[in-house]
Structure 1
Amino acid sequence: MRKILPLLTLLFFAIGMTIAVSNSAYAAAKISASEYNAGDTVTIEGTIEPGKDLYVAVASQTTFAPKDTKGVHETKKFKKYAKKVGFKRDTRVPVLYYMLTTNPAKFGKTVAKKYGGPSFAKGIYSTTMFKLKKYGKLDDEAKAMLGPIKTKEEWNFYKFLHEKTYGINTVTKEATKRGKVTIFARSVLTDYGKTGNYWDKGTSISLDKATGKFTASFKSFRHTPPNTKFDVYVNAAKIGTFNLKPKGFWLSRGGRYMNPLWIIIGAIAVGAFFTLIGAAGGMLMAAYQVMVVHTMGPIGINAANVLRPSNVALTLFSPLGAFYRYAVVEKRVAWPVGLSFGVGILIGSIWLGKYATRYLPMKSYKEWLAILVVLMGIRTLYELTPKVMEKRKAIKAMVKKFNEEVARAKAEGRAAEMGKIEPVKSSLTDYRFKFWGEEFRINALLFGIIGIGIGIVARSFGIGGGFILVPTMTMLGGLPMYVAVPIGLIGTSFSSIGAFIGYAINRYWPDLWIFIAIVIGGFVGGMIGSRLQKLFSEKTLKWTLAIVLFFLFFRFFKIEIWI
């Protein structure tokens, strides 16, 4: 027995060493650096068991569960999706997670994807995306390679956060797009040189199955929050951690790296255009935030609930920048109409708007708005026809006087003077005034009632509502653009105040730096736009308004991919 015991000890030691050496040989891997800048390429290299496929799971240590959200609307949305998709309130997954593999078919497949266009069209553009399998379709090997994702609920939640736009915009914050339309979020990646898939761009994987040697690299997300740490698993074994350092000026609630100066420049341009025609300021600023700033919000808050409050800065402070010239210098603000509009808009945005955002299906709501704005655009162009201009003699006479003044000013080398509002009769239902010597009549109470509807729209989309307000005044009120625009700016100011109060009640706040930048740019833009307006004829302003309305039609119906 004494002779056998040392032999057994030696045997077990040899077996243990063999296993240890084998495992170290087959799981030896390293990360090329412990720290990178956000957006840098991360490289992992090493050796796995010969003949095996490579599975590298990269998971952020920052995790999220539905119970973590502080948003009122997000809480309700997650509750709804949890039942439908199959996860729980405390289901927790990494916010950012990538699977780099030589065998993506283990986890899903490339499928055709239709997108864009109105809901009834079921998509008018075609592309492809990587669709993850259902948990029950994953084999045991695939499940073993998932790293921190262990359960069916976690896989379901991860799948939701990478394939549903709401999940992407609320948690993942990294969107894989075609044009400017989100298709899905990067999940399973493989070598771009072999697939050519747009979502694999920046990913390179080489594996020698005979020896097990591999190199895998991928481009990290440019807007990963500062100092986010990631754990790396190679074929189920955790091999290390790396950190992504900040690169640029971080907008904490915007969820993006962006120099605020670019936001100021964009706000100046949008603010000038907005105060020139009195419409689409909020929509254009939203487009700028989506296209250039890429505002996404903090983890757990939907991007729209940061973008909309930020837009309020533009639709409130651009009019303030324009009011001095419109109201004080040129005296062409019809205050009774503007204030009536404002009161109606406040009621709509603060009181009724909350019910619209809670109960109305936004998709169909936008499509009805699309129909409305295209009809307004057609009507605006129709108003420029000789037949209509002949009927609206006051506007025709005003346009003639304005053109004559422009011609005289040009001949004399001076700036053209703008006509002033001269009240004739002040009544809630019969307000009359003269502009360029021509009398106009309008029912202020009626426009106050219309303002309620505009307020609901403003609250729902985080915009001023000028794209409805100004055409309504030119069509129903028969007002010239030079009068309609200042009134419209009063209305958008009120709607902006009401909308912001609504957001504040629900504790949805803009990013501070985005808000400040838009305030500065919007105010300056308002000053510029109000000075520029008299350089353009009534016809030019209406053409511009019509083009904007058609632009909004395409945007609401998702018939474009650049926004």
Structure 2
Amino acid sequence: MLVTAPDMATMLSGAAVGFVLALVGGGGSILAVPLLVYGVGVASPHVAIGTSAVAVAISAFANMIAHWRAGNVRWPCALVFAVAGVGGTFIGSHFAKQLDGGKLLVLFGMLMIGIGALMLKRRAGGGDPSVRLTPATASRLLPMLAGMGVAVGLLAGFFGIGGGFLIVPGLMLATGMPLIYAIGTSLVAVVAFGASTAASYAMSGLIDWRLASLFIAGGLLGGLTGMAIGRIIGPQGKVLQSVFSIVVIAAGGYVCVRGALPYL
């Protein structure tokens, strides 16, 4: 089968996202949509969002298995958050599909700036490692988990992102669990949000499955490379995360400007 220039661009874009995810521990999926639109040349922002949602779900699933084996997933909390959020993703994706592509890109760029700023803020690793969702704690934890789940799900569905950088602080705020458990637990919701967003866009015929498969293949290769380099650089990873945060903010500004140009 002939490999075209867009095919190569898609694999390279996927590799970039996978590399960043492995190297700095998250946030790479926020680059998937602008890479597909401006790097690969996907004409429709809606197709780019639907296609990236497939890649986000599969990438998160692979990471979730690793965290599950390490004992970092608090399943009852994860399932409540995910189930509540899935409803939000369908609502969010429904409204996103009604919005003009250019305006959607402007909003996406604004989200990138916000997430980049959130990534710059140092997250504390404290918390209560014994926190559990039980009959005794349900009256306190269930409303917070469900409310946070719906809110984050709306954003994840609207923008076609996994929402990990929104889910992690949301889980910590709702339950008081430590950062490492919040990261592992968040991946259950990222899988659910990505899969439900992808399903919504698939039902509307807004996923390019060929591009999705190439993007995922590139992401796997980029992830392996990122993990290898991450082991070499060690503590410098925190510096890289700060640099990447600034890149996300700058890229968000670019997306905003490009999306707004047709209306000027």
* TM-score interval for Structure 1 and Structure 2 normalised by the shorter chain: 0.7 to 0.9
Kindly tell me: are residues 363 and 537 of structure 1, through their superposed partners in 2, closer, same or farther at Cα, counting changes over 3 Å?
A: closer
Which residue of structure 2 aligns with residue 336 of structure 1?
A: 76
Q: With the length of structure 1 as denominator, give the TM-score of the two structures.
A: 0.38
Instruction: Name the structure 2 match of 1:497.
Output: 195
User: 1:289 Cα deviation (Å)?
Assistant: 1.8
For 1:310, the aligned partner's letter is: T
As a proportion of its length, which structure holds more strand?
1
Identity of aligned residues (%): 19
Aligned to 2:197, what secondary structure does the other structure show? Answer: helix
8 A Cα contact 1:277 1:541, kept in partner = yes
Larger Rg: 1
Summarize the alignment of residues 337-352 of structure 1 with structure 2, pairs less than 5 Å apart: 337-352=77-92
Q: Tell me the amino acid that sits aligned with residue 134 of structure 2.
A: S
Note the C-alpha offset of 1:503: 0.9
CA distance in 1, matches of 2:181, 2:229: 15
Match of 1:287 in 2: 34
Does the 8 Å contact 2:33/2:45 carry over to 1? Answer: no
Which string of whole-angstrom CA distances, capped at 9 and with x for unpartnered residues, describes residues 408-436 of structure 1?
xxxxxxxxxxxxx97564327848xxxxx
Change (3 A) 1:424 1:532: farther
Partner of 2:63: 322
Q: CA deviation at 1:310?
A: 1.5
3-state DSSP of counterpart to 2:145: helix
Question: Number of residues paired by the alignment?
Answer: 254
Pick aligned residue for 1:513 from 197, 210, 219: 210
Are the aligned partners of 1:275 and 1:319 in contact in 2 as well (CA < 8 Å)? no
Counterpart-to-counterpart distance in 2, 1:555 and 1:265: 20
Deviations 1:95-140 (CA, angstroms, capped at 9, x unpaired): xxxxxxxxxxxxxxxxxxxxxxxxxxxxxxxxxxxxxxxxxxxxxx
| Aligned partner of residue 427 in structure 1, secondary structure | coil
Q: Structure 1, unaligned stretches of length 5 or more?
A: 1-247, 251-256, 297-302, 384-388, 396-420, 432-441
| More relative contact order, 1 or 2 (CA 8 Å, 6+ apart) | 2
**Any gaps of 5 or more consecutive residues in structure 2?**
none
Say whether 1:376 aligns with 2:118: yes
Q: 1:445 to 1:532 in 2, by over 3 A?
A: farther
Q: Mapping of 1:338-417 within 5 angstroms?
A: 338-355=78-95, 357-358=97-98, 362=104, 365-366=107-108, 369=111, 372-373=114-115, 376-377=118-119, 380-381=121-122, 394=126
Query: Aligned to 1:484, which of 169, 179, 182?
Result: 182
After TM superposition, the score normalised by the length of structure 2 is 0.72
Alignment-derived partner of residue 257 in structure 2: 558
CA change 1:452–1:519 in 2 (3 A) is same
The question of whether the paired residues in 2 share the 8 Å contact of 1:286 and 1:311 is answered with: yes
After superposition, where does 1:50-199 map in structure 2 within 5 Å? Answer: none
Letter in 1 for 2:249: F
CA distance in 1, matches of 2:13, 2:67: 23
Specify the alignment match of 1:129 in structure 2. none
Matches of 2:112 and 2:36 in 1, distance apart? 21
Residues 1:305 and 2:72 are matched in the alignment: no
Distance 1:276 1:479, change over 3 A: farther
Distance 1:369 1:550, change over 3 A: same
Cα distance 1:315–1:480, how it changes in 2: closer, same or farther (>3 A)? Answer: same
